[in-house]
Each structure stands twice: as structure tokens, then as C-alpha cells.
A = this chain, B = another copy of it.
Amino acid sequence: MIKQTQITEESIKVFKALADPIRLEIIKYLSQLDHEVSCGEISQTMQISKTSGSYHFKILQEAGLISVRKVAREKYVILDRSTFDRHLTHFWQNL
């Protein structure tokens, strides 16, 4: 029995998360590195304030597009490609 995704809040969250230039740049950056990066490093690279960074990471995380690992003071993020697959690559199957 294969789980069929509906048009859920989940899909909407994913597309909303993708519908912003800063967040797409973050995703692009993460996809090029393909390893964990600290939030601070990304904020610096994107030239955004830490507050703004924190906001965008929360949106990305709640959409399931990144996963987060906390190490002491720092937070490391990495793409969760399975979420991209589910909602983008397999868009028609899940509609």
C-alpha cells in the first residue's frame, strides 16, 4: 500500500518555501556544496542579517526542505532531497 499524498498543507508549505529568491539561493548554495553548513555561513554568503536568516531557515525547515543538526552553539543545515523528490520530481504522481 503506497501512501498517496493529497493537496495538503504540506505541499503548500513546500511551494511557499520555494517561492522566494533568497530561499532559492540558499537551496542552490546548499546543493552545490552537498554537505552540512552552518546558518551563519549561509547568512554571510547571502548577505542577509542573522534575523532574516533565522526566519528563512525556519520556513525551509518547516517545509521539510532542509534538516538541521545542532552542535553546541551552532546549527548545521543540509538539504533533505527526499522532500524535493516527493513534491517536485514526482509532482504529477502526488497531485
Contact = CB atoms under 8 A, between A and B. Distances in A.
A30 to B, nearest CB: 10
Interface stretch (A11-19, A38-46, A49-57): A11-19
Residue from A11, A28, A92 with most neighbouring chain B CB atoms (10 Å): A92
Interface residues of A, number: 20
Given A7-B24, A24-B11, A92 B19 contact: no
Contacts of A89: 88-89, 91
A84 interface: yes
Interface of A: 7, 11-12, 15-16, 18-21, 24-25, 27-28, 31, 84, 88-89, 91-92, 95
